[in-house]
Amino acid sequence: MQNAIKNYITITAGYWGFTLTDGAIRMLVVLYFHSIGYSPFEVASLFLFYEFFGMITNLIGGWAAIRLGLNVTMHMGMALQITALAMLAFADTLLSVAYVMFAQALSGIAKDLNKMSAKASVKTLLASSQDSRLFQWVAILTGSKNTLKGAGFFLGGMLLEVFGFSQALLILAVGLLILLVITMSLLPNNLGKAKNKPKFSQVFSNTPAINWLAAARFFLFASRDIWFVVALPVFLFEHLHWSFTQVGSFIALWIIGYGVIQSISPQIIRNHQASGSTAKWLALLLALVPIGIAVTLMQTNNVTATIIIGLMIFGIVFALNSSFHSYLILAYSHHDKVAMNVGFYYMANAGGRLTGTVISGLAYQSMGLIGCLWVSAGFIIVAGALSMKLPNDSTAT
């Protein structure tokens, strides 16, 4: 057990460091390119390859991890992120939309290799009978990751304002390179490597529970990104006239709080069974939040307070949804197929983020923030409906 805890701490530390750079680069790209005249839809388009190649990576990455080892795919992700950061930092004259989209494609591949490897590793470190510990370890990993992602948003906004675009990216690349060397020296080479090599055709799940959960995940994460990725930071910058650091700090604090709630979600959701009914009610509760924010914005002049309070409530309920979903995919998966199931599941997650990102730019340009909130609520309701198909315990899979 001591060895498992050591590996868990190493994996978590690597995931933390990567996540800092992932949050920072997103905030850097959104704020920098909007400040030099890009429209909301053009800013959203910069992330299309990030999410699209994330989908492909999740589909292939789980299969590759079983054959190569989860530590190999995790470090491949870190190396690709360093490459993406360096590409943007050293190419002031090449910062066209196509060039940035290509760099973001590498970053998307990197992010999903790292995330899939870290989360699947947790399952391999624990026995099948340790469901309660599994929920706790996944919740801590996911919650702490999002707390660090929030810190990354703050770091990105602060570095942009203090050092400028290129130097900020170089600082991030050097820090991640140091962490890559450390984790490579600590993790075993055969982590998550299967004795029997699966065929590529097996990457698509034939377990109904996992397919329904992946579909619900698609709509859940699309609902968040519809108003959070482009619409919210642009709204704060354009309409409330916040500075780069203020926007980065606010979103950072939100994500940090969101991560804290994820980390303690096993204490809030007392039923640790793999319950589809819990997922359904959590989704329907979440749908009420963007509806409430939209209705309030239509009736009040106190926009700032409405956004801040509404986001706090949304963050709490969304964190419970996300954390419970992350537990369900591991609970529904057998040890010998966990990497492929997690990869398939996060392919749906990336597809939802891609869809939400595109809609965020288009909806904000045509309907404003309130329109984005109504579309978001519709997607959450669909996620809740799909969750009705989930079984109420892991043995049903």
CATH of the domain at 174: 1.20.1250.20
What pLDDT score was predicted for residue 115?
77
Q: Helix, strand or coil for residue 173? A: helix
Task: State pLDDT tens for residues 91-141.
Answer: 666 677 778 888 888 888 888 788 777 777 776 666 555 555 677 777 777
Q: Decide if 194 is inside a domain.
A: no
Q: Decide if 193 is inside a domain.
A: no
Counts of helices then strands in the chain (DSSP H, E): 14, 0
* Three-point CA angle 141, 145, 148, nearest 5°: 145
What pLDDT score was predicted for residue 385?
92
Residue with tokens 């599994």: 134
What is the end-to-end Cα distance of the chain in Å, rounded?
Answer: 27
CA 122 vs. chain centroid, Å, equals 17
Q: Decide if 389 is inside a domain.
A: yes
Residue 207 has what DSSP assignment? -
Task: Give CB contacts under 8 A, 24+ apart, made by 168-173.
Answer: 168/24, 168/28, 169/25, 169/28, 169/85, 169/86, 169/88, 169/89, 170/85, 170/86, 170/89, 172/20, 172/21, 172/24, 172/25, 172/85, 173/21, 173/82, 173/85, 173/86, 173/89
| Residues of the domain holding 130 | 2-187+207-396
Across 292-314, average pLDDT: 89
Question: Which sign, positive or negative, has the C-alpha torsion 222, 150, 76, 72?
Answer: negative
Into how many domains does the chain fold? 1
Which letter, b or e, does each residue of 290-316 get, where b requires 16 or more Cβ atoms within 10 Å of its Cβ? bbbbbebbeeeeeeeebbeebbeebbb
Q: Decide if 63 is inside a domain.
A: yes
Across 225-239, average pLDDT: 83
Backbone dihedral region for residue 294 (phi beyond 0: left; psi -120 to 50: alpha; all else: beta): alpha
- Angstrom distance (rounded) from CA 397 to CA 330: 11
- Angstrom distance (rounded) from CA 283 to CA 317: 8
pLDDT at 195 over 90: no
Q: Decide if 84 is inside a domain.
A: yes
pLDDT at 383 over 90: yes
Q: Helix, strand or coil for residue 142? A: helix
Across 295-307, average pLDDT: 88
**Residue 188 carries which side chain, given as an amino acid letter?**
P
Across 244-272, average pLDDT: 77
- Cβ neighbours of residue 75 closer than 8 Å, sequence gap 6 or more: 180, 183, 184
Which letter, b or e, does each residue of 11-48 get, where b requires 16 or more Cβ atoms within 10 Å of its Cβ? bbebbbbbbbbbbbbbbbbbbbbbeeebebbebbbbbb
Q: Decide if 199 is inside a domain.
A: no
The percentage of residues in the chain with a pLDDT greater than 90, rounded to a whole number, is: 15
Neighbours of 269 (CB within 10 A): 18
Q: Decide if 197 is inside a domain.
A: no
Confidence class for position 199, pLDDT limits 50, 70, 90 = low
Min mean pLDDT across 13-17, 78-82, 171-175 is at: 13-17
pLDDT at 344 over 70: yes
Q: What is the dihedral of CA 74, 79, 81, 83, to 10 degrees?
A: -160
C-alpha distances out from residue 223 to 43, 73, 280, 378, 380, Å: 18, 29, 15, 8, 6
CA 273 vs. chain centroid, Å, equals 24
Do the beta carbons of residue 392 and residue 276 sit within 8 Å? yes
Across 332-336, average pLDDT: 67
What pLDDT score was predicted for residue 153?
79
Q: Across all residues in the chain, what is the average pLDDT?
A: 80
Min mean pLDDT across 8-17, 305-314, 361-370 is at: 8-17
Q: Decide if 202 is inside a domain.
A: no
Do the beta carbons of residue 352 and residue 222 sit within 8 Å? yes
Across 38-49, average pLDDT: 76
- Who wins on pLDDT, 289 or 348? 289
* Token digits of residue 389: 């198909």
- Who wins on pLDDT, 375 or 272? 375
Across 315-333, average pLDDT: 85
